Amino acid sequence: MVIGERLKALREKKNMSQGEMEKRSGLVRSYISRVENGHTVPAIETLEKMAYAVGVPLYQIFYGGRKLPVPLLPKMDDCGWGSSGRDAKTFGRFRRLLERTPEPDRKLLLYVAQKMSQKKTCFVQRKRRRSKE
C-alpha cells in the first residue's frame, strides 16, 4: 500500500479537507497533495505531523488491519521508574527506538540488560548478607 493513498483514506474517513489538515499539521496544502498523490515520500517526522493532524497513531498509516498489532514491549505500570514525568518521556523514547530495532539486535540488548540486572541484584544481595554478619 502506498503511504499517500493511506493518508488520503484516513483524512477522508475523518471528513477533513486538505486545508483543515494544513491548519492542524502546519504543512503546506500543496505538499499534502503531493504526498497523497504519490509524488513525494515524506520523512517520518512529517508522517508524525500528518498522523497527529488526522487524529490517529502513527502505526495506522502503515497498518491497515482491523485488529491492533501486538506491542513489542509492555507498557509500564503506575509504579516505579518511567511511570511519570521526565522519566516517562525518556522511557517512551527508549521503547519506540527499541521497537524499531531489528529482532536479533533487540534480543541481544534485552539479554545484556537482563544479565546486568541479575549481576546488580546479586551484588546487592551479597552486600546485604555482609552487613547482617
Domain annotation covers residue 9: yes
DSSP SS3 for 92? helix
**Which class for 101: exposed (0-12), middle (13-18), buried (19 or more C-beta within 10 A)?**
middle
Domain annotation covers residue 79: no
Provide the domain count of the chain.
Answer: 2
Question: For residue 58, how far is the Cα from the chain centroid?
Answer: 8
Whole-Å CA distances, 61 to 9, 29, 46, 88, 103:
10, 19, 12, 25, 22
Residues 97 and 58 in one domain: no
Give me the CATH number covering residue 29. Answer: 1.10.260.40
pLDDT value at residue 20: 92
Domain annotation covers residue 124: yes
Residues 94 and 58 in one domain: no
pLDDT value at residue 1: 46
- pLDDT digit of tens for each residue in the chain (133 aa)? 478 888 998 899 999 999 999 999 999 999 999 999 989 888 888 998 998 899 888 878 887 667 766 655 555 454 555 566 777 778 778 778 878 888 888 888 877 877 777 665 555 556 666 666 6
Residues 99 and 48 in one domain: no
The Cα–Cα gap between 92 and 75 comes to 9
Residues 56 and 94 in one domain: no
Which of 62, 78, 107 represents a domain boundary (last residue)?
A: 62
Contact criterion met (CB below 8 Å) for 16 and 26: no
Domain annotation covers residue 67: no
DSSP SS3 for 20? helix
pLDDT value at residue 108: 83
Residues 58 and 95 in one domain: no
Q: Domain range holding 121?
A: 90-132
Model pTM above 0.85: no
Say how many C-beta atoms besides its own lie within 10 A of residue 48's C-beta.
15
Domain annotation covers residue 119: yes
